[in-house]
């Protein structure tokens, strides 16, 4: 997605060879126009999947997931990283390791929000090692629902997450695939992009 790549080039900050900071437009301050276009792009990419729910993990995935849900006209669910007092024992759970925060969280979603037969699109901001996306997929499967696909804003292709997701048989669509952050520069995986008017 050219719009996202351009935003990464102009406003993204390479902190080191593994970390790309995008907090000025994705995960601290958000660019609503960019989020709207991201939602439209995921809706285009997954239009044949008959999506019934969009699932993400708090908190950086919420904005693009909301815009995607709006395009599909379906509910959006976010997995909680910390158990809420209002969540009872009727929850799906998975343990996920955050590469950025260097911590493991048990994520939860209430049983009442994902049902057997749902076609769920998972949306998240980054893909590094794939732990969040795979954890979300396992919760969908616990419910007897279908993982219709995984939509990622920024894939770090130099880390093993994308390969692991595909190896497990999930459809993965990443809007920007980063090949390298070496030398303080973002290099994208070369792809053939469709130009929209």
Q: Which residues are annotated as a binding site for 5-phospho-alpha-D-ribose 1-diphosphate?
A: 128-132
Binding residues for xanthine: 20, 27, 156
Pairing of strands 91-98, 103-110: antiparallel
Binding residues: 20, 27, 128-132, 156
Tokens read off for 84? 């809420």
Distance spanning both ends of the chain, measured CA to CA: 13
Concatenated DSSP letters of 15-75: -SSS-EE-TTTTSSS--HHHHHHHHHHHHHHTGGG---EEEEETTTTHHHHHHHHHHHT--
Angstrom distances, CA of residue 161 to CA of 38, 133, 155: 21, 9, 8
171 conformational bin, left if phi > 0, alpha if psi -120 to 50, beta if neither: beta
């Amino acid at each position: 997605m050219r719009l996202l790549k351009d935003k990464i080039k102009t406003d993204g900050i390479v902190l080191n060879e593994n970390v790309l900071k995008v907090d000025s437009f994705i995960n601290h301050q958000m660019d609503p126009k960019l989020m709207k276009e991201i939602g439209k792009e995921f809706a285009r990419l997954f239009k044949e999947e008959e999506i019934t729910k969009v699932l993400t993990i708090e908190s950086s995935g919420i904005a693009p997931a909301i815009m995607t849900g709006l395009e599909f006209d379906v509910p959006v669910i976010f997995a909680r990283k910390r158990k809420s007092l209002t969540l009872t024992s009727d929850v799906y759970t998975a343990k996920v390791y955050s590469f950025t925060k260097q911590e493991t969280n048990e994520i939860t979603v209430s049983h009442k929000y994902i049902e057997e037969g749902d076609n769920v699109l998972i949306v998240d901001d980054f893909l590094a090692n794939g732990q969040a996306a795979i954890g979300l997929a396992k919760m969908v499967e616990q419910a007897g629902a279908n993982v219709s696909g995984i939509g990622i804003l920024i894939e770090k292709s130099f880390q093993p997450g994308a390969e692991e997701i595909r190896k497990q048989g999930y459809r993965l669509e990443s809007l920007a695939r980063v090949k390298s952050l070496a030398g303080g520069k973002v290099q994208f995986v070369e792809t053939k992009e469709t130009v929209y008017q």
